[in-house]
């Protein structure tokens, strides 16, 4: 990523909480921000659509790092997926965390 | 608490090697491993793979949810592994989505076979775990801590050589 672009990126952490009736999200970097939904996938869409609006930034200028409330980071394709996360903690995994294309999203398969 | 976790059928297995091809089929060598070797020169385990097989009713086709993997130690606490910022837990989640190919399979077949998510966690260069350690892989779905799937394994190495003198 070009340096200029890197400098304009805003990093925001989002924490997902599981409740008996569904999910909700908060961000320690965005005071007062919460979102909720019955399903995790729908909540995630709300977060990715809503945070750029709340912060008044372009979605491309926002880097959202996600984690579950128990502290588990969510490894996604842009950060190299689980393989990328393992590399970041020093575990090298040449063919790690392969997911079948066709039965999971392509973004995950790319990781 | 989670209908996904409540209705899921999950199986875990260890193998020497596993991979998934483009058609979604899993290729496994040496499944059934319960004891992982240890490389004394590198201080890491031998290579191994964790295979996670998740099956869900067809009603969850298309549902996105987090699949969390954690490594536990003998006491059932999060096992710590060395990393750039010190010792840290080997715990991570990934958002997965099972999609049944209903147009190709037909509704009747899709209803019968359900949703299948296959996750291969291939630790190709081993993991810096303790020699003679007893560990457990733990899997949780959709953030539901009331349901967990566990798989125990051990790390062993060659017996110590004779001591002379």
Tokens standing for A80? Answer: 């190299």
Cα B14 from Cα A8, distance rounded (Å): 44
Q: Do B25 and A100 touch (CB under 8 A)?
A: yes
Residue B163 lies in a domain: no
Q: Do B81 and A89 touch (CB under 8 A)?
A: yes
Question: Which of A39, A74, A103 is the closest to B93 by Cβ?
Answer: A74
Residue B25: burial class (beta carbons within 10 Å; 0-12, 13-18, 19+): exposed
Average pLDDT over residues B129-146: 95
On whether both A21 and A53 belong to a single domain, the answer is yes
- A40-59 pLDDT, tens per residue? 999 999 999 999 999 999 99
Cα distances (Å, whole numbers) of residue A61 to A3, A16, A54, B24: 13, 21, 13, 34
What's B54's domain CATH number? Answer: 2.60.40.3880
Question: Which of B2, B92, B99 is the closest to A103 by Cβ?
Answer: B99
Q: How far is B83 from chain A (nearest CA, A)?
A: 4
Average pLDDT over residues A27-38: 96
pLDDT value of position A95: 42
Q: Do A39 and B96 touch (CB under 8 A)?
A: no
Cα B164 from Cα A94, distance rounded (Å): 41
Q: Do A74 and B95 touch (CB under 8 A)?
A: yes
Residue A97 has pLDDT above 50, yes or no: no
- For the full predicted model, state whether its pTM sits above 0.90: no
Q: Do A92 and B120 touch (CB under 8 A)?
A: no
pLDDT value of position A5: 58
On whether both A82 and A55 belong to a single domain, the answer is no
Cα B19 from Cα B7, distance rounded (Å): 26
pLDDT value of position B35: 95
B48 CB-near residues (< 8 Å, 6+ apart): B14, B15, B16, B33, B36, B123, B126
Average pLDDT over residues B133-158: 95
pLDDT value of position A108: 33
On whether both A15 and A55 belong to a single domain, the answer is yes
- A14-27 pLDDT, tens per residue? 999 999 999 999 99
- B42-95 pLDDT, tens per residue? 888 999 999 999 999 999 999 999 999 999 999 999 999 887 778 889 999 999
Average pLDDT over residues B129-147: 95
Cα A78 from Cα A47, distance rounded (Å): 16
pLDDT value of position A98: 42
Residue range of the domain that includes A57? 1-72
Residue B165 lies in a domain: no
When divided into structural domains, chain A yields a total of: 2
Model confidence band, residue B18 (pLDDT cutoffs 50, 70, 90): very high
Q: Tokens 């001591």, residue? A: B163
What's A63's domain CATH number? Answer: 3.30.2390
Residue B163 has pLDDT above 60, yes or no: yes
**Residue in B96, B138, B133, B71 with CA at minimum distance from that of residue B4:** B96
On whether both A59 and A93 belong to a single domain, the answer is no
ipTM of the complex: 0.87
On whether both A87 and A38 belong to a single domain, the answer is no
Residue A77 has pLDDT above 50, yes or no: yes
On whether both A63 and A105 belong to a single domain, the answer is no
pLDDT value of position A26: 97
On whether both A37 and A1 belong to a single domain, the answer is yes
pLDDT value of position B104: 86
Residue B50 near residue B12, CB atoms below 8 Å: yes
Residue range of the domain that includes B57? 3-155
């Amino acid at each position: 990523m070009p340096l200029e672009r890197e400098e304009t990126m805003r990093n925001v952490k989002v924490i997902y909480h599981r409740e008996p009736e569904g999910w909700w999200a908060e961000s320690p970097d965005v005071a007062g921000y919460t979102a909720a939904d019955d399903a995790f996938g729908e909540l995630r869409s709300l977060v990715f659509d809503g945070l750029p609006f709340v912060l008044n930034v372009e979605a491309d200028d926002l880097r959202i790092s996600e984690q579950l409330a128990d502290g588990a980071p969510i490894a996604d394709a842009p950060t190299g997926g689980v393989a990328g996360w393992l590399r970041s903690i020093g575990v090298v995994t040449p063919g790690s965390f392969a997911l079948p294309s066709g039965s999971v999203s392509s973004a995950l398969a790319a990781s | 608490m989670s209908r996904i976790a409540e209705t899921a059928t999950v199986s875990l297995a260890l193998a020497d090697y596993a991979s998934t091809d483009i058609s979604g089929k899993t290729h496994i060598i040496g499944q059934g491993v319960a004891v992982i070797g240890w490389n004394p020169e590198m201080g890491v385990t031998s290579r191994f793979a964790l295979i996670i097989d998740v099956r869900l009713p067809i009603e969850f086709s298309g549902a996105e949810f987090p699949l969390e993997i954690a490594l536990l130690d003998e006491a059932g606490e999060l096992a710590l592994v060395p990393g750039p910022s010190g010792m840290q837990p080997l715990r991570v989640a990934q958002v997965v989505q099972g999609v049944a190919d209903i147009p190709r399979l037909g509704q009747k077949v899709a209803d019968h076979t359900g949703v299948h998510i296959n996750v291969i966690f291939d630790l190709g260069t081993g993991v810096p775990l303790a020699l003679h350690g007893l560990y457990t892989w733990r899997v949780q779905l959709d953030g539901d801590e009331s349901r967990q799937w566990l798989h125990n394994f051990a790390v062993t190495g060659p017996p110590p050589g004779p001591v002379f003198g």
